[in-house]
Structure 1
Amino acid sequence: MSCSDCAAGQEYKGSPQGKTEKIGGVSCYVGTPTGHYDHKKVLLLLTDMFGLTLPNNLLLVDDFTKQGYRTIAPDYLNGDAAPPYAMNNPNFKVKDWVQNHMPDVTRPPLDDVIQALKRQGVTSFAVTGYCFGGRYAIDLAIDGIVDVIIVSHPSQVVVPTTFETFAQKASAPLLLELGDKDTEVTVEKQGEIDAVLGDGKYAPGYKRESWPGCSHGFAVRADVLVPEQLQGKEGSFNSSVAWLKKYF
């Protein structure tokens, strides 16, 4: 359900270009395109356990914003993201952190943000979720709240049960980005997901990619000095943009 790779990876340098603002009483990092964009659409980015404190997550918001999508990353962790010292720290207890961030406290901020955006005139949502945020992206699709979903190396999923529920209740096209070294959703489990959703079984649309040499967390915390990890990170982002252009 949670693994040490959830807190592994590299922190990136960069200067985030978005702004932090309150939406529905929740602190959010917001990227607004400089050119023309559809004001009725919002891409929600649900971060990993490092939340808005990790530059990687903010820079990802910026990257999607540059593609023409108003992109919002809510602080659904309630200001209690995993601390910076947790990165690559074998003494940091990921499972203990997760127990303090169960859906009863982390889902309400998402609902507050979504309702506030609807009051502002937003009518269509896409969601992209990374690691810890992947399960929440799936839940939003199961609840019929989002129109398009992208999930990268999710944690807190049960294979195949989570995806059987998804197949029964969701209607949003799903792009699933994984690595072949993921210990959370192994290659074997990836095949089980395909058995549920693949070959046209999930009519709205389903695609899974498994990037060689990439472990859990690669799409947001890859070591870009390792060619395979860089290829996985950049490739998964490009696939995400293509999915949005196709369905959103």
Structure 2
Amino acid sequence: MTIMMLRSDILYSLHVGVLETIGGVTCYVGTPTGDYDHQKVLLLFTDMFGITLGNNKLLVDDFAKCGFKTIAPDYLNGDEAPPYAMNNPEFNVKQWVQKHLPAQTRPPIDKVIAALKEQGVTTFAVTGYCFGGRYTFDLACENIIKVAIVAHPSQLKVPDDFTKYLNNSKAPLCIEVGDVDVEFPLKNQETVDGILGDGKFAPGYKRDCWPNMEHGFAVRGDILDPGHLAGKEGAFKNTVAWLKQYF
């Protein structure tokens, strides 16, 4: 599978969201044009490429077009990975991760949530992509959010994090993932099904596994390939359906 990075300069004119500072944190914000519930916010936790990546902005825009006030905080503190990091052998992923541990990246999230609560927001959902999966789980297990969706999550341990989710969270969980995801391989997916599936997690659980989709497809899939486009769009549609059902 080809993972394509869409150039932000080419797509910038298509973006309908705006940059705002919320709780001292830069955020990319998408606001529905029609009526929506002002007490609800969908938080989007990006992959390691952050809110400067055009693909991530477009996701925020699309969720807003579906009627959800959507906010993507810069929880990477302006130090996102460069757009073509995965194709650059000189980029050290492990080193980058060590500079973006929860001690550095969780505080911006908490600041945004606190500020939004002061503005009257009472209910949160989260969709987390790749690196953002860790924080989606953390907030769900602390019952700060009401609904959780993760797409090809990373930084999660199987079975530990999913057993913790079962025992602590009340947020219905949807997982969008591919069948050739090296970060979340099929054997791990099946283990998670055994923990949360078949009604074991009462609030709600589903896993959608897309054929021939690698890690990152829901954000950076090659939209010029019909199969990859179907996976990317399908994951988005399933996320919206989950939000409409539970949020």
Normalising by structure 1, we get a TM-score of: 0.95
* Counterpart mapping for 1:208-223 below 5 A: 208-223=207-222
State the secondary structure of the residue aligned to 1:159.
coil
Cα distance change of structure 1 residues 228 and 243 upon mapping to structure 2, 3 Å threshold: same
Task: Measure how far apart 1:217 and its partner are.
Answer: 0.3
Q: Check if 1:38 corresponds to 2:34.
A: no
CA contact (8 A) 2:5 2:84 kept: no
Structure 1 residues 1-248: aligned runs within 5 Å: 9-12=3-6, 13-14=10-11, 15-248=14-247
Report how far residue 225 of structure 1 moved: 2.0
| Paired residue type of 1:183 | V
SS at match of 1:84: coil
- The one-character-per-residue Cα deviations of 1:186-230 (angstroms, maximum 9, x if unpaired) are 011100000100000000000001000100000000011222211
Contact kept? 1:9, 1:87, Cα under 8 Å: no
Report the alpha carbon displacement of residue 88 of structure 1 after superposing the two structures with TM: 2.1
* Distance in 1 between residues matched to 2:18 and 2:52, nearest whole Å: 13
- Find runs of 4+ consecutive structure 1 residues off by over 4 angstroms: none
Can you list the C-alpha shifts for 1:160-184, whole angstroms capped at 9, x where unaligned? 1110011110000000000001001
Q: Conserved in 2, the CA contact under 8 Å of 1:163 and 1:193?
A: yes
- Structure 2 counterpart of 1:10, one-letter code: M
Shift of 1:87: 4.1
Show structure 1 runs of 5+ residues with no match: none
User: 3-state SS of the aligned residue for 1:52?
Assistant: coil
1:85: how far off? 3.8
User: What is the aligned-residue RMSD (CA, Å)?
Assistant: 1.2
Q: Distance in 2 between matches of 1:245 and 1:209?
A: 17
CA contact (8 A) 2:43 2:127 kept: yes
**Partner AA of 2:219 in structure 1:** V
Percent identity over paired residues = 62
- In 2, the alpha carbon distance for the partners of 1:231 and 1:180 equals 14
